[in-house]
Amino acid sequence: MNDFQLKLKSIMNEYVHFVYQQTRSFPKQEMYSSVSQWRRCSLSIVLNYVEGYARNRRASRLYFLEISYGSLMESTYLIDFFKAENILDEKSYINGSKMSKEIGSMLWTEMSKLKSNLA
């Protein structure tokens, strides 16, 4: 991985820890539904990214990055959902949204580079 990719992985890692930290104080009735889903999809972002870079073929790598991006979109929706439900406070919402957008932009750049190399 180059410096850009390592930075992206680091932000993804920070985001997962943010999600876990936030969800510790969420209502208990949400623990096995939306909290569990947010934790799983946020973890999936970084896990699929890492797995993609463990693959030798570019097409396989792109496949896993696309899964990572899909999980990011799911996680981003949940940030908005928890804010609308008044479960996530404004400061956390802004912080999570900022990280999500940065990850999305960087991940899209990675996918675009791979796609152009495959063409």
Per-residue model confidence as pLDDT tens digits over 18-32: 999 999 988 888 777
Give the per-residue pLDDT at 55.
87
Q: Which CATH class is domain 3-118?
A: mainly alpha
Nearest to 68 by CA among 27, 18, 8: 8
Residue that wins the pLDDT comparison between 53 and 97: 97
Rounded Cα gap, residues 68 and 76, in angstroms: 12
Answer yes or no: is pLDDT of 111 > 90: yes
The single residue listed with the structure tokens 């791979």 is 114
CB-based contacts of 55, cutoff 8 Å, min separation 6: 61, 64
Neighbours of 115 (CB within 10 A): 14
| Domain-wise residue ranges, the chain | 3-118
Is it the case that residue 67 has pLDDT exceeding 80? Answer: yes
